[in-house]
Amino acid sequence: MQTEIVIAGFGGQGVLFAGQVLAYAAMDSGKEVTWIPSYGPEMRGGTANCTVIVADEEIGSPLVRHPQAVIAMNLPSLDKYEPLVAKEGTLIINSSLIERSLQREDLKSVLIPANEIAESLGDKRLTNIVMVGALLTAVPVLPLEAIEQALEDHLPERHKKLLPLNFQALRAGADLVHKEQIGQQS
Amino acid sequence: MAKELLKGNEAIAEAAIRSGLEAYFGYPITPQTELLEWLSKRMPELGRTFMQAESELAAINMVYGAACTGARVMTSSSSPGISLMMEGISYIAGTEVPVVLVDVMRAGPGLGNIAPAQSDYNQIVHGGGHGDFRPIVLAPASVQESIDLTVEAFELADRYRAIVVVLIDGSIGQMMEPAELPPMRHIDRQRPTWAVTGAKDRDRRILSSIYIDPENEEETNLRILERWKEIEANEMRYKEYYLEDAELVVVGFGTAGRVALSAVRAARAEGIPVGLLRPITVSPFPYARIKELSNLACGMLVVEMNTGQMLLDVQAAVGGKIPVEFYGRMGGVVPLPDEIHEEISRLCYEPVAPSADPRESWMDRMDLAKN
Amino acid sequence: MGLNPQVETVYKRPTTFTPATTHYCPGCTHGVAHRLVAEVLEEMNLQEKTIGVASVGCSVFAYNYFDCDFVEAAHGRAPAMATGIKRVLPDRIVFTYQGDGDLASIGMAEIVHSAARGENITAIFINNANYGMTGGQMAPTTLPGQKTTSSPMGRDIENNGFPIRTAEMLATLDGAGYIVRRSLHDPTNIRKAKKAIRLAFETQERGLGFSMVELLSTCPTNWGMNPIQSLQWIEEHMIPYFPLEDFKVSPILSQVRI
């Protein structure tokens, strides 16, 4: 059992840290995990991404062509990864910055106005955590509590006062997906 | 000790510290720089030597000097910087002093780029500067293995008075994985009997790579070779996956090896009897094991992040007995599992005849893939 | 303990020398420079704590002559190697012995940065205006118009540029504690040279930073002169270009009585 997640966006959107939080949570949950950032030729245009793989056995390749889930924080990331997401995979889209609709019909997609949510919570640096909350609700590879623990353990000391806000952001992202799922069921 | 989420470069740096690293001399270069930065903070904290040299050339010669005192020393760099270090590496080998060198490979030739590659296989395994010697080269494929082999590197360097290279590519350097660090080792201030420390209460010692009399140099070359034979006999390391019943054997080291593991698993899931040999010591190279496997399997696939450097060593081991095919990505492009899976399927369903140069058919396939 | 107890020994082989006979050409002042270093090591009682770093050039075999621990560096890299040793063993005395090709050409980066870092090592720098060991080619110190085997028409400044005054250059660096130039062409200057070498090692002992003594030295074989002519050539041609001065002297050294 292996889940591959790509988180992509502009530099400064907390893309790499969001991936690390996932990786810490996976590690603390006793899973195998790899986190690998883009640092080479694909970093053109100020976009950043990282791949996180969570698995039950020794992980082979730290990179995959068709990740099962992608968080697209901005339009260039959606343009790049929409064609690459695995068949019937999941796209978590930051609808605050992305207006276009999806071209593929097989994908499970969730639109999250992450910037607005973060700003309503009072800090736009929370955008990434809103998206992580949404991801883990749509693709329940790790419990939200594991993320909370990871944030508590690994949020840089100078940001520790933001911990409650981070928890709120995580739940806000999760709630939106819950609502959508309930809406689809009814 | 509990597992921590560690970045490859930093994990190697900390593992070196805990192995009793006394002095580090280095020069910044991507994608190795985190290693140097980690040590720049930690070494002074511990009262040990960290120095940023004016060039890789200076760094390797500082390491050379420090190694002559019998201290545990290390430097690190990435491909273009390693090229500059070749001079010092040769002198260190000729003087028979222990040094650990970390090469976080990137793409080349020339400036190339900073993306991951295995472009230094030849320069490290078959090169290492002028003269007649071979370095021990350890090729980890994960953060945990990078830690374990760094610890091992210091032991091997001391045991054989040799250069030990930890050879990774940029992706292992940049990757984070859960891993466990070794406990802090006490620094042994007892200097070996050959070390140059000031001739107090003993005869003076000279450490040099100069043997002006050809017969003495020949004797030295032979001594180094004999030690190498001992290394070959005792220090061969590789990891095998699904080889018990494998009819097709994939051979790859480092990142290429672990990417191949994903492909091998996927092919196994389809019922293809394929296995993986991942050399951990690429020098000494597991010729004997590959030769054995060539008696059991009906084909081999070598996967590298270069144009086929280790390929020649595999071919030498196989000796034309079974077809050896090649698949490589380079220039900073990391192969993905589906590409290797496709190669495995092709070899399984379209058996190939042994060819003189497997790179030719690979180049044709690369052309096809482009068009 | 001689035959006559009235006779005082005024000149003997320093105990810091090995019994080996040097390989230098007749009339070459490398032997004088070696002896001065050996005398200073003896007088300062440094033999047991000194590690020498030999370089590549005529002095490649320096380790055969000094009775102390020694290593042999790659061409130009002696200051880097000395840095490595000194950083691990900061209470030892570490010195390099380098020629002008080694120090001022291929090893210029290493010597400049060692000086800039204030590396607590001592460099003995032999300037004989050519590459001696390889048979007298043009060096960074070869004078304008000077004929060598690789500048057979004389050094052409249009083509080869100008000689480098290394001591003056290094003296501009804050890390340098003691930088002087001396000459070995007559007894007076030899005595001054010895005092300078002593001060260089005193600089190191006191942790005052990088020290270097540049010594104008003869190369009669490659200059195509007899020993006396070559001593005169230093005086007439080299000193005007390479003045014998103190370029940088740490003020603390003025308290040192020797």
Split at pLDDT 50, 70, 90, the class of B264 is very high
Residues of B in contact with A58 (CB under 8 A): 261
Distances (CA, A) of A145 to A7, A167, B371, C30: 20, 9, 49, 76
B238: which residues sit within 8 A by CB, 6+ positions away?
B277, B278, B279, B280, B281, B286, B289
Distance of residue B21 Cα from the nearest chain A Cα, in angstroms: 28
Residues of B in contact with A62 (CB under 8 A): 171, 175, 255, 258
Closest among A182, A179, A163 to A112, alpha carbons compared: A179
- Amino acid letter at B331? G
Q: What is the mean pLDDT of residues B302-324?
A: 97
* The CATH number fitting domain A2-185, selected from 3.30.56.10, 3.40.920.10, 3.40.1160.10, 3.40.50.720: 3.40.920.10
Arithmetic mean of pLDDT over chain C? 96
CA within 13 Å, CB half, C95: 30
Looking up tokens 């639109």, which residue turns up?
A111
Task: Report residue B345 CA to chain centroid gap.
Answer: 29
The domain limits of chain A are 2-185
C131 phi and psi, to 5 degrees? -85, 105
Which of B62, B73, B196 lies closest to C80 in CB terms?
B62
- Amino acid letter at B275? G
| Chain B residue with minimum CA distance to A21 | B5
Q: What is the pLDDT of residues C28-72, one digit of tens each?
A: 999 999 999 999 999 999 999 999 999 999 999 999 999 999 999
Q: Which chains touch C (3 or more CB pairs under 8 A)?
A: B
**pTM, two decimal places:** 0.94
pLDDT at residue C104 is higher than 80? yes
Which of B25, B197, B206 lies closest to C89 in CB terms?
B197
Q: What is the pLDDT of residues C60-74, one digit of tens each?
A: 999 999 999 999 999
B171:A36 CB<8 A: yes
Q: What is the pLDDT of residues A80-94, one digit of tens each?
A: 999 999 999 999 999
C71:B55 CB<8 A: no
Residues of A in contact with B332 (CB under 8 A): 40-41
What pLDDT was estimated at residue A20?
97
Q: Which chains touch A (3 or more CB pairs under 8 A)?
A: B
Split at pLDDT 50, 70, 90, the class of A181 is confident
* Cα–Cα dist B276/B252, whole Å: 8
* Cα–Cα dist A170/A147, whole Å: 8
Q: Which residue has the higher pLDDT, C226 or B189?
A: C226
Q: What b/e readout covers C180-197, taking b as 16+ CB neighbours within 10 angstroms?
A: bbbbbbeeebbebbbbbb
Q: What is the pLDDT of residues B15-26, one digit of tens each?
A: 999 999 999 999
Residues of B in contact with A36 (CB under 8 A): 171, 174-176
pLDDT at residue C233 is higher than 70? yes
Touch A-C: 3+ C-beta pairs under 8 A: no
HEC secondary structure over C175-217: CEEEEEEEECCCHHHHHHHHHHHHHHHHHHHCCCCEEEEEEEC
Do residues A169 and A133 lie in contact, with contact meaning Cβ atoms separated by under 8 Å?
A: yes
Split at pLDDT 50, 70, 90, the class of B186 is confident
What pLDDT was estimated at residue A156?
86
In a 10 Å sphere around its CB, with 0-12 CB exposed, 13-18 middle and 19+ buried, how is residue A12 labelled?
Answer: exposed
Hey, what are C147's tokens?
């004929």
Distance of residue B316 Cα from the nearest chain A Cα, in angstroms: 27
Hey, what are C257's tokens?
């009585």
B68:C81 CB<8 A: yes
Q: Which chains touch B (3 or more CB pairs under 8 A)?
A: A, C
Nearest-Å Rg of the Cα atoms of chain B is 21
Q: Which of B1, B4, B5, B327 is the best mutation test for A, with the most CBs of A within 10 A?
A: B5
B251 phi and psi, to 5 degrees? -120, 125
pLDDT above 70 covers a percentage of chain A that reads: 95
B66:C63 CB<8 A: no
What residues does B275 pair with on adjacent strands? B249
* Cα–Cα dist B177/A50, whole Å: 13
B91 phi and psi, to 5 degrees? -65, -40
Which of B255, B258, B338 lies closest to A65 in CB terms?
B338
Residue range(s) occupied by CATH 3.40.50.920 in chain B: 239-370
Distances (CA, A) of B163 to B61, B73, B95, B97: 13, 11, 11, 8
Do residues C7 and C59 lie in contact, with contact meaning Cβ atoms separated by under 8 Å?
A: no
CA within 13 Å, CB half, C50: 27
Split at pLDDT 50, 70, 90, the class of B363 is very high
The sheet that has B248-251: what strands, in order across it?
B238-241, B274-279, B248-251, B299-304, B324-328
Strands C246-249 and C176-183: antiparallel
Task: Report residue C210 CA to chain centroid gap.
Answer: 14
HEC secondary structure over chain C: CCCCCCCCCCCCCCCCECCCCCCCCCCCCHHHHHHHHHHHHHHCCCHHHEEEEECCCHHHHHHHCECCEEEECCCCCHHHHHHHHHHHCCCCEEEEEEEHHHHHHHCHHHHHHHHHCCCCCEEEEEECCCECCCCCECCCCCCCCCCECCECCCCCHHHHCCCCCHHHHHCCCCCEEEEEEEECCCHHHHHHHHHHHHHHHHHHHCCCCEEEEEEECCCHHHHCCCHHHHHHHHHHHHHHHCCCCEEEECHHHHHCCC
Q: What is the pLDDT of residues B266-287, one digit of tens each?
A: 999 999 999 999 999 999 999 9
The domain limits of chain C are 30-255
B206:C69 CB<8 A: yes
- Amino acid letter at A58? E
Residues of C in contact with B129 (CB under 8 A): none
Fold of B4-234: Rossmann fold (3.40.50)
Distance of residue A44 Cα from the nearest chain B Cα, in angstroms: 13
Question: Would an 8 Å CB–CB cutoff place C19 in contact with chain B?
Answer: no
Strands C93-99 and C122-127: parallel
Hey, what are C105's tokens?
């050409």
Residues of C in contact with B66 (CB under 8 A): 84-85, 87-88
B115:A59 CB<8 A: no
- DSSP states of B164-186 as a string? EEEEEEHHHHH-EEEE-PPPPPP
Split at pLDDT 50, 70, 90, the class of A185 is low
| Chain B residue with minimum CA distance to C67 | B204
Residues B239-370, CATH architecture: 3-Layer(aba) Sandwich (3.40)
Residue A154's H or E segment, with its range, is helix A144-154
| Chain B residue with minimum CA distance to C72 | B208
Residues of A in contact with B263 (CB under 8 A): 60-61
What pLDDT was estimated at residue B298?
93
A140: which residues sit within 8 A by CB, 6+ positions away?
none
* The CATH number fitting domain C30-255, selected from 3.90.400.10, 3.40.640.10, 1.10.10.60, 3.40.50.970: 3.40.50.970
